[in-house]
Amino acid sequence: MSIPFLDRLRSAGRLDQLFIDGQWTAPRGTTRMPVVDPSTEEAVAEVALGNAQDVDRAVAAARRAFADWSCCDPKERAEKIGRLHALVLERAETFAQAISLEMGAAIATARSAQVPVAAEHLRVARDLARDYAFMVRRDGMAIVREPIGVCSLITPWNWPLYQITAKVGPSLAAGCTVVLKPSELSPFSAILFAEAVQDAGFPDGVFNLVAGEGHDVGAAMSSHPDVDMVSITGSTRAGILVAQAAAPTVKRVAQELGGKSPNVILPDADLARAVPAGVAAGMRNVGQSCSAPTRMVVPRERLAEVERLAVEAVSRLVVADPRSESATHGPVANRAQFVRVQEMVEAGIAEGARLLCGGSGRPDGLARGFYVRPTVFSDVHTRMRIAQEEIFGPVLCIIPYDTVEEAVAIANDTVYGLGAHVQGEDLGAARAVAARIRSGQVHINNPAWNPHAPFGGYKRSGNGREYGVEGLQEYLETKAILGYEAKESA
């Protein structure tokens, strides 16, 4: 089958190259990685991977470029980022096709969510570069926010373009230079993004792309002595490894890691609105979102109604070929994730959770591909694995409670603290519960996504924040210049 964007990348040699110092270049390493279409389980291409030598080349290029990029007028940086934003929007359909192929997102989701929200991070970064006060005067001194330096950015496969722009946008706006390692499992959107960076006219070395595996390229990027900061989105295990590798050089580490987010439905909530919206949020992107609210914490006296509404909501999902316009959900992104979801569904059954719909195996009519059955368990208690471990698939746990105090305790009974939801008609009561949940974000009554809202976790969900002003500030150092304003001598 001919795939136009992939045919073009192949003919241009992009699948065999890295992007370093403004040039497409062959890697020093010889490893190649097949890219598997999760809807067919078949490889559609191979990409060349870099190694530690390629990291050295990319970091050196970023270090050379930092001197000029960090000192240029922020409005110049804003202009370049604005051009990049425009190019991503112009090429939105190509990006959507690439994301659907490389990680299985339904094409409708790729078009309506994966690409446009990724572009929003660039728009916000453009505006921040233009408007942020990089220097303020206070008490006779100047407080200056300066770019931290060369940044290693490590991104995952589940929201591939979105996670790239969430890091690249603010780091470039701050005046940093970067080396990006996208997931080797979803490389196409990253290659397309590097082409857009080149076409936007960024100076050589400001942005560098080195594909590779975590144990090789990721480790080299995290430990490199000429890297000033590393930012990773990934599993908690991966975040720990990055922090350990970075520790000897005392570089800043930002980690956006795992989650097991609660959705607390208060006794006065409108269930007809809250439950279907909660199912949609928990199973968005086939459940492959670190902040997905996969624990629905509900009043015991309303459990039967919640269960009925949840099963009805799942019945409206269409799991199908991701290229189908009617599909709401495609496969999970890779074989390892498919195996993980099957294991956890079986664990839920074995531990005594009540299966309302779904279960193990593929949906009817889908004999191949990493398709899984959207699954809802009820009568889940907090000691079950499905209530504690991140599944990263379309598996929802309904956990009943008797008092709001107990609901808050259930919400906080996890090692994670990334996101949370609260539903209720009494806004004051909902706010009070939101204030007691230990997580980096809380959504009351399903508000619209806000690209300015800082995102990051408590506990083992990580350190640091992304998005908006707080995301920009992660890439800045603070300098106090005393005596900045002259005073008359006595």
The DSSP H or E segment spanning 152 is: strand 150-154
Q: Are residues 388 and 244 in the same domain?
A: no
When pLDDT is cut at 50, 70 and 90, the band that residue 2 belongs to is confident
Q: Are residues 131 and 214 in the same domain?
A: yes
Q: Which of 120, 256, 466, 474 is catalytic?
A: 256
Dihedral angle of Cα 242, 246, 250, 253, to the nearest 10 degrees: -30
Contact 271, 306 (CB under 8 A): yes
Is 457 inside a domain boundary? no
Q: Which of 102, 184, 195, 290 is catalytic?
A: 290
Q: What is the pLDDT of residue 29?
A: 86
DSSP characters for 165-176?
A: HHHHHHHHHHT-
Q: Are residues 306 and 178 in the same domain?
A: no
pLDDT tens-digit profile of 322-347?
999 999 999 999 999 999 999 999 99
Under DSSP, the state recorded for 359 is E
Q: Are residues 237 and 319 in the same domain?
A: no
Q: What is the pLDDT of residue 490?
A: 45
Contact 393, 337 (CB under 8 A): yes
What is residue 425's three-state secondary structure? coil
Q: What is the mean pLDDT of the chain?
A: 97
CATH label of the domain that carries residue 332 = 3.40.309.10
Domain region containing 208 = 4-257+463-478
When pLDDT is cut at 50, 70 and 90, the band that residue 426 belongs to is very high
CATH label of the domain that carries residue 171 = 3.40.605.10
Share of the chain above pLDDT 90, in %: 98
When pLDDT is cut at 50, 70 and 90, the band that residue 488 belongs to is low
Q: Quote the number of domains for the chain.
A: 2
Q: Are residues 414 and 468 in the same domain?
A: no
Q: Which residue has the tokens 């269409």?
A: 318
Please indicate whether residue 42 is annotated as part of the active site: no
Q: Are residues 125 and 207 in the same domain?
A: yes
Please indicate whether residue 256 is annotated as part of the active site: yes
What is residue 466's three-state secondary structure? strand
When pLDDT is cut at 50, 70 and 90, the band that residue 96 belongs to is very high
Q: Are residues 50 and 182 in the same domain?
A: yes
pLDDT tens-digit profile of 397-420?
999 999 999 999 999 999 999 999
